Structure 1
């Protein structure tokens, strides 16, 4: 008995990209396939592979998304080999029951965009903009000889090269709203959250050649914002001595108080894993910890929340939903991209001029010292000190000049006779 070949699947990175392009969260994909959210996360990270009926359902779902994207793009693109005979024609339902449930449900929000409070299409990062500009007009893959001639593609439009300022503005407009809410959950302070995100984007603009070619520019800015927000020096600022205004809802206040009671490392790990939707290795890498340490922090944070708020965040999906609700309840103002670029340039000029002035001051002080310093060194004479162990001088010492004069006068006068005993009147 021969075993049927396994249903083909795309690479783990392609699975995640297709899910985010459809604006599906990992929990929604897990509900469609009939597995847990952690299982979908393991499939997208490559730690495990689906099998059996779940593999077929998962492959059909990905093939349907790929087919929809190919038709929506209005390009003659050959479907990948893993999607052959899997994707139904566009307009048909993969699962009538599940799709009917999706129509009644609210707008689907991906895990990475759940903190933004709104849905958006696939993000355009500076890296993709620069890469597309360098590639020129996008073309489909080479035709397959077994499928016959491909239809003639439509004439492609000329691709405009995005300037660094435009790419930075796109990154700021895409990531800033959600990042401000995430930082608020990390610190519990609205002003500090806005300041941290603005400083992070200023640093990104100063190092834009490095950030533009990064694998994940949004992750770079997020790590910079988190590091600035969690700095222990903020507690010394006078504005941070008083607590910030709590949320309006009582449930939100209780959840935020429990979240702020967690240690900073556990709070950051919980926010990255259950809030942003990173997997465990990515969370450990961003928090600069090992994977077992990150897993331990996550478990302890979940246990603390479940102990203080029983029933409200019993499962990871409920905790993810609760974090998203708390984020969307706060109206925070994201930084303006143009103002961020202007402030970053002003800050860079200020520190450059300060460094130049400080260097000139050091050079001037050194030159003045060399000019006024003596060229010959004369060691100072040490003061006299008492010497112990020498006995004091005994008996009369040498006569002084006054003693010698008195002695001479006495010798010249009479030494005997009655004149010495009889006083004379003068």
Structure 2
């Protein structure tokens, strides 16, 4: 099947416990609920599409200052989920958070935002990962300070051992600039200087697809790697003890037999049962929705309003229910007239639109729906509306985009207050 991808994106120093996200971590993902996108894909891979949605939102975000929670710029997917699963989707002016929820729920997956990264995977794996990170993580010590954020990138074929070593050794990254440490460049530099590279050969020899972690706390990143193997850090672990440095030719080679785990790592099965943990949500229009979403969930959750925050003490599974309610309320409040004809905010907004081999009529229908209008394609224009076009429009209103699309197919478009009419000129 032809692959088509199009998106519209609206342009719009305290020490923490190891890998423990700030209580305001859900707020870091609020931009996903506010940004509305139009998306149409056929037979796109799940991992690529999730990354594309995330990039379209983060492109319009203002870089955070040091006192703000890290925005969501990376996706961390359960290794037991196939990222090459093919998906197809068409949405118009829908909140990015809802698009991501629809995609993951369709595949039977769960998600949860941590500072800088969106965790996606099987329900039980996401819940355990989040609970271990947010609810009872150990405090680390040593050269790698808890509050440090890093930005790393790795190619397809990277092993878990190489990635863990990169995360432990990467220099601190400023969240506002996010200078990225690339695995290949890091290894090449080590080879040239004969300083040797670090490895964690006690990990299974797992080959991973390309990816990145941008602006993520170092201990969170380490814990995410361990979570892929149902492992966790112990309290007081020095991160540098998880890796060893060597200049031998054998560096990074897989072990024939699985060695014992480092003393700072333990299996999830040896940890006590996960408990409820607190997270802060922004109080306001989402408060009633969050309370309602938790009313029938077991075990019972505690909800308390403190100033501008709604503190929810709940299990990871119940936090996922609260998060969905929170996102939906933000999306409704951000554009209360969305979908209504003549909505001024939608008309005033500017978008980017990239089209590859897409039928003009389908695109015009999406643009009309994005502005809450009906569309009528006249009989004489139906054949021409099937013409497939390519387009790369930047910072255009919906009406301007419709006019460009119509012209590319040899059509005329009338952008009325209630209806869009497509005709043959």
Tell me the TM-score normalized by structure 2.
0.24
> Greater relative contact order (Cα 8 A, min sep 6): structure 1 or 2?
2
Structure having the higher helix fraction is 1
Structure having the higher strand fraction is 2
> Quick check: which has more Rg, 1 or 2?
1
Tell me the TM-score normalized by structure 1.
0.24
